Structure 1
Amino acid sequence: MTRVFDLFLQGGPVMWPILALSIFTISCALERVWFWFRLLSQEDRIVRDVLDAARYDLQKAAEAADYARHLPIGRFLYAPLKLRQPTPETFRLAMEAAGDKEFVQMRKGDKLLETIVAMAPLLGLLGTVTGLIGTFNNLKIGGGGTTAEASRVAAGIGEALITTAAGMIVAIIALLVFRILVTLQSRQIDYFAEVGSELELIYRQVWYEPSTVNSNPALPPSTAYVNDTFSSSSEKY
């Protein structure tokens, strides 16, 4: 631990913003790990309960989804089920709107990680430049030099290398976390689409009863209207 602290001090003042970026990265990673753990460990059970109930009782399906509204999948399924006798188009629109809203929440932290991936190497490069500047200032060309001057030159080189390494390490960790989150988000979008399609299909097949415009479903509305008019006119004559 003392060795790490000594290396941190040798890195110079640029190490402080790099440390702040590392703290942000770890905090974001821990928060996202908790979010995805809760979601992935419960969503299959929630989906199964809601879909099974939807085949027999929409009210029970809505109650099951409402009970899981603390999770994105629960809010996604509850959005169309809370409507009263919606058309299939309205049913799908409610799911799509809820899904878009949940996907925004799933991308929470992405911008922060992208910023850290871009900034950390630049801060490391800044530390490299400042360390080299200090090295050249302490380097006396053509002179014999002293032990103290040689130590200052070595300290400048050490500062240049330490900040570069620290910046790259933070950027690599942030990039790794970011790529994992993007993969999880992509899979979740596909999963939401699959579940939403299955719920919509159940609603169309079991619960939706389109209103009949005319008694003869084989005829379009305009044709039925013309036939009715013609029949009534014939009866008069």
Structure 2
Amino acid sequence: MSNLFETIVKGGPTMIPMVGLSIATIACGLERSWFWFRLMSQEERVVHDVMEAARFDLSKAAEIASQAQDLAIGRFLLAPLKLKQPTPETFRLALEAAADREFVQMRKGDKLLESVVGIAPLLGLLGTVTGLIATFASLKIGGGGTSADTTKAAAGIGEALITTAAGMIVAIISLSIFRVMVTLQSRQIDYFSSVGSDLELIYREIWYEPTFHHMTQPNHGDYSTASNVRLLDS
């Protein structure tokens, strides 16, 4: 730890914001790792339970989804299930609106990581320039330099190399986390789309279309009675 602190000090003033960016990157990575771990380790179970319940009792399915409101998939599934006898169009709209809200939450941290990827190398370059300036300022053209001048020049070169390496390391770590997050987001978009389509299909086939067909079916008993009355009158 002491060696790390000494290295940071040798890196010069530009290492201060570099350390801040690295802390922000690590904190974002840990928070997002916990978010994705919780979601991906439990969503299959939640989806299975909700889908099975939706085939027999929509209120039971909504209850199961409400118990998973700390997960994105739970909030996504509950959005259409809590509606009162919606049309298929309204059911789909509720799914799409909930998906949009959850995708915004999934992209949390993307802007920070993108900023770090762009800023960290520039800070490293700035540290390189300031280190070289200090190096050339310590050199005495034409000889006559002392050991103290040599030490200052070496310190300037060290500052330039340290900040360059630090900027590259922070940017690489940030970019790696960002790419993993983008991959997970893309997979979740496809998964939510598939789950939403399956839930909508269950609602249409089991709950909406049979009810709609029953409501629109003509009353054959009344029709037969009316026909018999007309035959008797004739």
Normalising by the residue count of structure 2, what TM-score does the alignment of the two structures yield? Answer: 0.90
Tell me the amino acid that sits aligned with residue 90 of structure 1.
Answer: T
CA displacement at 1:144 relative to structure 2: 2.5
TM-superposed CA distance for 1:6, in Å, is 1.6
Query: Which of 186, 201, 210 does residue 212 from structure 2 map onto?
Result: 210
Compute the displacement of 1:215 (Å): 4.2
Q: Unaligned 5+ residue runs, structure 2?
A: 220-234
Please name the residue that 1:17 is paired with: 17
Residue 13 of structure 1 aligns to which amino acid in structure 2? P
Deviation at 1:7, TM superposition (A): 1.2
Equivalent AA in structure 2 for residue 36 of structure 1: W
- TM-superposed CA distance for 1:74, in Å, is 0.4
For 2:71, the equivalent position in structure 1 comes to 71
After TM superposition, the structure 1 = structure 2 runs for residues 31-180 of structure 1, keeping only pairs within 5 Å, are 31-180=31-180
How far apart are residue 49 of structure 1 and its match? 0.2
Residue type at the aligned position of 1:192: F
Q: Name the residue aligned to 1:221.
A: none
| Cα distance between partner residues in 2 of 1:49 and 1:4 | 50
Q: CA deviation at 1:70?
A: 1.3
Distance 1:4 1:69 in 2: 43
**Offset of 1:5 from its aligned partner?**
1.7
Output one character per residue of 1:41-71: Cα deviation in whole Å (capped at 9) or x when no partner: 1100000000000011111001111111111
Which amino acid counterpart does residue 210 of structure 1 have in structure 2? F
Q: Distance in 1 between matches of 2:67 and 2:6?
A: 52
In structure 2, how many angstroms separate the alpha carbons of the residues matched to 1:132 and 1:8?
Answer: 17
* Amino acid of the structure 2 residue aligned with 1:176: S
Sequence identity, in percent? 69
Once the two structures are TM-superposed, the CA of residue 85 in structure 1 deviates from its matched residue by 0.7
- Root-mean-square deviation over aligned CA pairs: 1.3
The alignment partner of 2:108 has SS state of coil
- Tell me the SS of whatever aligns to 2:212: coil
Q: Give the distance between the partners of 2:144 and 2:153, measured in 1 at CA.
A: 14
The 3-state SS of whatever aligns with 1:194 is helix
Q: Which portions of structure 1, spanning 4 or more consecutive aligned residues, are displaced by more than 3 angstroms?
A: 211-216
TM-score (norm 1): 0.89
CA distance in 2, matches of 1:7, 1:141: 29
Q: Distance in 2 between matches of 1:121 and 1:213?
A: 68
Query: Where do 5+ consecutive residues of structure 1 fail to align?
Result: 217-237
How many Å separate the matches in 2 of 1:99 and 1:2? 48
Q: Which moved more, 1:131-140 or 1:202-211?
A: 202-211
Aligned to 1:26: 26
Counterpart AA for 1:8: I
Offset at 1:90? 0.4
AA aligned opposite 2:192: F
Q: What CA deviation, in whole Å up to 9, does each residue of 1:114-163 have, x standing for no partner?
A: 00010000000000000011111111111221111011111000000000
Shift of 1:214: 7.7
CA distance in 1, matches of 2:217, 2:200: 26
The residue identity in structure 2 corresponding to 1:67 is Q
Which amino acid letter does the alignment assign opposite residue 173 of structure 1? I
| Cα separation, 1, equivalents of 2:36 and 2:217 | 51
Equivalent-residue separation in structure 2 for 1:192 and 1:25 (angstroms):
28
Q: What do residues 63-112 of structure 1 show as CA deviations (whole Å, max 9, x unaligned)?
A: 11111111110000000000111110000000000000000000000000
Name the counterpart of 1:201.
Answer: 201
